[in-house]
Amino acid sequence: MSESRIELFRKMIEAEPNNTTVRFGLANELLKLERFEEAAVELKAYLGLADDQGNAYGKLAQALERLGRIDEAREAYQQGISAATRHGHPGMAQEFEMALADMI
């Protein structure tokens, strides 16, 4: 079922490339299938369009970590901490700080 959802999201993005909700949805479906490289690409595209509150940065960091791209994952967590703090989500910021500390 996820594969058909991915195709649907891709068609929707083709029609509306700047639709952040659809891009985030596609990234989540790709993560479920452990297609981390594709998910990272979609999350980066989403983050280029949206003022994310932190969640997408965390998902990006996790995908990058699974790909072995540790430096990039650290940077994504740092950006997530900044975004979460800026948007008033101290719990999310703390979660990312803990994930970052576990990477060291």
If DSSP states are collapsed to H, E and C, what string results for 12-49?
HHHHCCCCHHHHHHHHHHHHHCCCHHHHHHHHHHHHHH
Per-residue pLDDT tens digits for 39-87: 999 999 999 999 999 999 999 999 999 999 999 999 999 999 999 999 9
Does 1 score more than 70 pLDDT? no
pLDDT given at position 2: 75
Domain ranges of the chain: 2-103
Domain 2-103 has CATH 3.30.70.1450: no
pLDDT given at position 3: 83
The pLDDT mean for the chain works out to 96
Tokens coding 55? 């969640």
pLDDT given at position 47: 98
